[in-house]
Structure 1
């Protein structure tokens, strides 16, 4: 794999799939989704933009330390932290999202363990967001989160070989054996992203890159699956 610091290539841009998914969020729930993806972008930028792995690790450690603290101890002046502190959920579990991003900093080709840690971190984070939206019980968004994580990782890998390793890691978790459970209306954006990710992984193409993808997203946005 060709890389210096991580398995990833260019800095994250505005994601059309996320933009489309957020269009189906209720007005009162949209802020939680926006906070979640803003945090993910901050962590992604820490990994992709750092000139040295140690710099990325230091940035990620700052976030990990915050999630190890009570929100009442968080420093003032960081708007994203202030928004996350308002979540009615155990935000300490967002620390595994940080761990997932840090796993991508390991030297050498993308490993199965790193890809799985990346997906699990997102699954945990999406579950925390679901709790913040009052949807702590089943059905869980974890399956959709894992699908989206692997698809997003494959899409942004710095080499075709690492992209295939990301897809292989998803297959090793048997994620394609069953469809994601139908999620409640409040979690509709997660359902859309899971659906787009499933299509992308099976077709080995970027999410929302074909007319069929858009139609599938609209259908899921309207019907839930």
Structure 2
């Protein structure tokens, strides 16, 4: 699942499409997503995973009442995201989305949609912090992005197929719209996810391939 942005040149290119103040907010939110992904990758006991996710839920909600503790992800959210009108409580659904992967033994369509709605809320929060336009398809893009990433990390081919099947129409919707200038970085991430879905299962995506970079540059110029 999604990892360190510094190791992903395409993600860095997408981030460069945001205005500086919006870029910092998006980086902080993606760092939250990375931290939650790492938590799941490094937790083998479901009960322990639920306890650790509960800590994140409570810590995010507490940002609305008290200063962030000395934890880099939380301090970045407090500094870069909350001053733009995004509450800590509004970020809790992102944790709920990741929690589905621990709670459910089988990821059926309902579970995958709940995962996508929760994790994909990151795009909604980022859009609010970045001043994205009212016509930007934030929910569809976020949910499709979340599922496309998950599908490449699921062991069961059946679950991966379902995740891709749900993600494709969501990302097609996101790609069909013209994104606002302030939302364009999120649109670029959605385009990358859509390109990833076209890569055959089991084949690494060709990060930085000319056609991928060209697609991002066209999006930067036109919003499409």
- Interval of TM-score (by shorter of Structure 1 and Structure 2): 0.7 to 0.9
Query: 2:110, 2:41 → 1: CA distance?
Result: 19
Q: Give the C-alpha shift of residue 150 in structure 1.
A: 1.4
1:158 maps to 2:155: yes
CA distance in 2, matches of 1:114, 1:155: 17
- Number of residue equivalences: 214
- d(CA) in 2 for partners of 1:47, 1:140: 28
Contact in 1 for aligned 2:124/2:139 (Cα 8 Å)? yes
For the pair 1:68 / 2:67, whether they are aligned, the reply is no
Q: Could you state the TM-score of these two structures normalised by the residue count of structure 2?
A: 0.82
Compared CA separation, residues 148 and 134, structure 1 to 2 (3 A): same
Listed as ranges, the gaps of 5+ residues in structure 1 are: 1-7
Residue aligning to 1:43: 36
RMSD (CA atoms) = 2.5
Q: Which residue of 2 aligns with 1:175?
A: 170
Instruction: Give yes or no for the alignment of 1:187 onto 2:180.
Output: no
Q: Distance in 2 between matches of 1:16 and 1:54?
A: 35
Partner SS state of residue 115, structure 1: helix
Q: 1:91 to 1:208 in 2, by over 3 A?
A: farther
The answer as to whether partners of 2:144 and 2:166 remain within 8 angstroms in 1 is: no
Structure 1 residue 23: deviation in Å? 2.5
- Alpha-carbon distance between aligned partners in 2 of 1:37 and 1:70, rounded to the nearest angstrom: 17
Q: In structure 1, what is the equivalent of residue 122 of structure 2? A: 125
What is aligned with 1:214? 213
**For residues 113 and 12 of structure 1, what CA distance do their matches in structure 2 show?**
26
Deviates more, 1:99-108 or 1:41-50: 99-108
- TM-score normalised by length of structure 1: 0.82
> Which structure shows the bigger proportion of residues in helix conformation?
2
| Partner residue, 1:33 | 26
- CA deviation after TM superposition for structure 1 residue 70, in Å: 4.6
Q: For 1:175, what is the secondary structure of its paired residue?
A: helix
Cα distance change of structure 1 residues 71 and 79 upon mapping to structure 2, 3 Å threshold: farther
Is 1:96–2:96 an aligned residue pair?
A: no
Q: Residues 208, 75 of structure 1: CA spacing in aligned structure 2 closer, same or farther, 3 A cutoff?
A: same
Residue number among 101, 108, 129 corresponding to 1:111 in the alignment: 108
Distance 1:83 1:120, change over 3 A: same
Change in 2 beyond 3 A, CA 1:224/1:207: farther
Q: CA deviation at 1:170?
A: 2.7
* Separation in structure 2 between the aligned mates of residue 198 and residue 161 of structure 1, nearest angstrom: 19
- Partner SS state of residue 114, structure 1: helix
Aligned to 1:198: 194
- In structure 2, C-alpha distance between the alignment counterparts of 1:208 and 1:147, rounded to whole Å: 20
